[in-house]
C-alpha cells in the first residue's frame, strides 16, 4: 500500500497552488473583512485573469463562494483546509528550524513545499511534538543539545559515510552546496 502512494501523489486533497489561494482568502478576510479577485491577485502577485482561472475549480468544489457583489468567502470546508495548511506550515517550519537546525530561509522554503501534503494524523502528532519542544523543559533542552552534538559529517566516501550511504550527496554540487559541518 505505502509503496503505491507516489502514484496518487497528484490526487492530493488540494494542490499547492489551491492551498495558497485558500490561505490568501483566509488572510484577507481576517485582515480586511473582505476578499475580491483583485485583492487576491495583488496579494499573490499574479494577474487578475490567471487568478480568476485558478479560482474556478475551488468554486466548483464549493471551497470558495462568491456573492452577488463578487466578494469571495470560504465555505466551512475551505476555511478548514486553509487553517490546516497554515498550521502545518507553521509546525513544519518550527520543526526544521528550531529542532533540526535548518537555516531560516531553507526551513521556510521546505515547510511551504510540504504544508499541504500532511495527513491530519501526522499533523496532530507533529503538533504534539512541537508543543513539547516549545515547553523548553529540561529534558527538551537536553535533547536539543544532544542532537546538536551528534551531527553527522560527510566523509566524502560513501561507503564509510553515515549521511550518504551509497553515493556522496555533496559532490558535484559546486561551492554553493553547504555541508552539515559548515552550518552556522
Ligand atoms: Zn506553500
Ligand atoms: Zn557523505
Which CATH number characterizes residue 25's domain? 1.10.10.10
The tally of domains found in the chain comes to 2
Residue with cell 478548514: 80
pLDDT (0 to 100) of residue 176: 47
d(Cα 127, Cα 90) in Å, to the nearest integer? 10
Q: Which ligand is nearest to the CA of 117?
A: 1
In a domain, 164, yes or no: no
- The answer for residues whose C-beta is within 8 angstroms of residue 3's C-beta and 6 or more apart is none
Mean pLDDT value of segment 175-180: 50
Q: Do 134 and 94 share a structural domain?
A: yes
pLDDT at residue 184 is higher than 60: no
**Angle CA(104)–CA(51)–CA(73) in degrees, nearest 5?**
90
Distance 159 CA to ligand 2 centre (A): 9
Q: Which ligand is nearest to the CA of 15?
A: 1
- Could you tell me the CA-to-CA distances from 4 to 7, 14, 16, 46, 168 in Å, in that order? 6, 19, 21, 35, 28
Q: Do 60 and 106 share a structural domain?
A: no
Mean pLDDT of all residues in the chain?
90
Mean pLDDT value of segment 118-131: 96
d(Cα 83, Cα 89) in Å, to the nearest integer? 10
* CA neighbor of 73 nearest in space, from 126, 30, 114: 30
Q: Which of 79, 98, 130 is the last residue of a domain?
A: 79
Q: Residue 57 belongs to what domain range?
A: 2-79
Q: Which of 30, 51, 79 is the last residue of a domain?
A: 79
Q: Which of 79, 98, 123 is the last residue of a domain?
A: 79
d(Cα 61, Cα 77) in Å, to the nearest integer? 10
Q: How many helices (H) and strands (E) does the chain have?
A: 7, 2
Q: Do 112 and 139 share a structural domain?
A: yes
Distance 179 CA to ligand 2 centre (A): 9
Which CATH number characterizes residue 97's domain? 1.10.60
pLDDT at residue 2 is higher than 80: no
- The answer for residues whose C-beta is within 8 angstroms of residue 94's C-beta and 6 or more apart is 130, 133, 134
Distance 15 CA to ligand 1 centre (A): 10
Q: Do 110 and 127 share a structural domain?
A: yes
pLDDT (0 to 100) of residue 175: 46
pLDDT (0 to 100) of residue 180: 55
Distance 168 CA to ligand 1 centre (A): 29
pLDDT (0 to 100) of residue 165: 82
d(Cα 141, Cα 127) in Å, to the nearest integer? 18
Q: Do 75 and 12 share a structural domain?
A: yes
More confident residue, 175 or 20: 20
Neighbours of 167 (CB within 10 A): 9
Distance 16 CA to ligand 1 centre (A): 6
pLDDT (0 to 100) of residue 10: 65
d(Cα 83, Cα 64) in Å, to the nearest integer? 14
Q: Do 117 and 66 share a structural domain?
A: no
Q: Do 99 and 133 share a structural domain?
A: yes
Question: For the ranges 29-33, 79-83, 145-149, 162-166, which has the lowest average pLDDT?
Answer: 162-166
d(Cα 40, Cα 42) in Å, to the nearest integer? 5
pLDDT at residue 1 is higher than 90: no
In a domain, 86, yes or no: yes
pLDDT (0 to 100) of residue 8: 67
In a domain, 90, yes or no: yes
pLDDT at residue 144 is higher than 90: yes
Distance 96 CA to ligand 2 centre (A): 21
In a domain, 88, yes or no: yes
pLDDT (0 to 100) of residue 76: 97
Contact 92, 115 (CB under 8 A): yes
Which tens digit of pLDDT belongs to each residue from 57-114? 999 999 999 999 999 999 999 999 999 999 999 999 999 999 999 999 999 999 999 9
Mean pLDDT value of segment 4-14: 72
pLDDT (0 to 100) of residue 64: 97
Amino acid at each position: 500500500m505505502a509503496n503505491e502512494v507516489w502514484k496518487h501523489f497528484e490526487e492530493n486533497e488540494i494542490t499547492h497552488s489551491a492551498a495558497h489561494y485558500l490561505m490568501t482568502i483566509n488572510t484577507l478576510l481576517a485582515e480586511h473583512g473582505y476578499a475580491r479577485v483583485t485583492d487576491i491577485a495583488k496579494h499573490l502577485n499574479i494577474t487578475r485573469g490567471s487568478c480568476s482561472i485558478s479560482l474556478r475549480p475551488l468554486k466548483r468544489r464549493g471551497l470558495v463562494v462568491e456573492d452577488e457583489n463578487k466578494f469571495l468567502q470560504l465555505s466551512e470546508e475551505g476555511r478548514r483546509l486553509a487553517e490546516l495548511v497554515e498550521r502545518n506550515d507553521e509546525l513544519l517550519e518550527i520543526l526544521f528550524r528550531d529542532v533540526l537546525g535548518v537555516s531560516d530561509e531553507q526551513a521556510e522554503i521546505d515547510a511551504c513545499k510540504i504544508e499541504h501534503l500532511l495527513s491530519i494524523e501526522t499533523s496532530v502528532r507533529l503538533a504534539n511534538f512541537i508543543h513539547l519542544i516549545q515547553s523548553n523543559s529540561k529534558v527538551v533542552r537536553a535533547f536539543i543539545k544532544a542532537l546538536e552534538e551528534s551531527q553527522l559529517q560527510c566523509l566524502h566516501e560513501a561507503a564509510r559515510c553515515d549521511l550518504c550511504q551509497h553515493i556522496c550527496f555533496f559532490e558535484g554540487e559546486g561551492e554553493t552546496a553547504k555541508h552539515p559541518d559548515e552550518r552556522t
